[in-house]
Amino acid sequence: KSQKEWFDPTLPGIKPPQGHLHLVTQAIEDIANIFSRIGFTRARYPEVDWDYFAFEALNMPADHPARDEWETLFVEQEANAKMGKVVLTPHTSNGQVREMLRVDSKPPIRMINIAKCYRRQQDITHAIMFHQFEGLVIDKGITISHLKGTLDYFVKEFYGPDRETRLRPFHFQFTEPSFEVDINCAVCLGKGEVKGVKCRTCK
């Protein structure tokens, strides 16, 4: 055979490409890095926790609808006399309680918690498990302006410099004041049209 056809079967194989991080993992790292640049520390707390941290310490009374077994996933385990039942956390707010206990509620606190949450409502657009992140800031002189500035900074860093936020007053039972946060459309940037054609994304 000619030199061109020669092949050494003992040569190591060609390694396949390694791929990349899962998109959720990548998003979590990006979000944590953005908030770290403005002084937040990422904390991680249990995703299987006591009723006390998920509800009681957040002032959700025993007859609150969220504590119904049709809304929350309870773990089959003997209840604790003080802490109550064990639940799959329906939100990340148990982390706020645990963080304040950890630092004895001494400000300043700048914490971000990114974790899985579990709720029994599921349909074609909602899964029984989803990711949620929230921040906690406790310090002297903190105002809604700080919240607005933090949200604006995050949105521009995560979604792009042309994105903007809007706070809309909204009623949530256990927080006051409360807001819904809107972000302008990624396609038309809130103009309502693209090259004279009505935006089909935000309509």
Q: How far apart are CA 91 and CA 94, in angstroms?
A: 7
Q: How far apart are CA 52 and CA 93, in angstroms?
A: 11
Give the tens place of pLDDT for each residue, 46-67.
Answer: 999 999 999 999 988 888 877 8
Look at the block and give the residue holding tokens 């194989």. 13
Instruction: Please tell me the predicted confidence (pLDDT) of residue 2.
Output: 57
Give the tens place of pLDDT for each residue, 32-44.
Answer: 999 999 999 999 9
Q: Is the pLDDT of residue 203 over 80?
A: no
The two beta strands, 109-118 and 41-43, are parallel
**Sign of torsion over alpha carbons 131, 137, 143, 148:** negative
Give the tens place of pLDDT for each residue, 78-135.
Answer: 999 999 999 999 999 999 999 999 989 889 999 999 999 999 878 888 899 999 999 9
Give the tens place of pLDDT for each residue, 140-170.
Answer: 999 999 999 999 999 999 999 999 999 999 9
> What pTM does this model have?
0.82
Phi, psi of 4 (to 5 degrees): -65, -30
Q: Is the pLDDT of residue 175 over 80?
A: no
Nearest to 136 by CA among 162, 168, 164, 175: 175
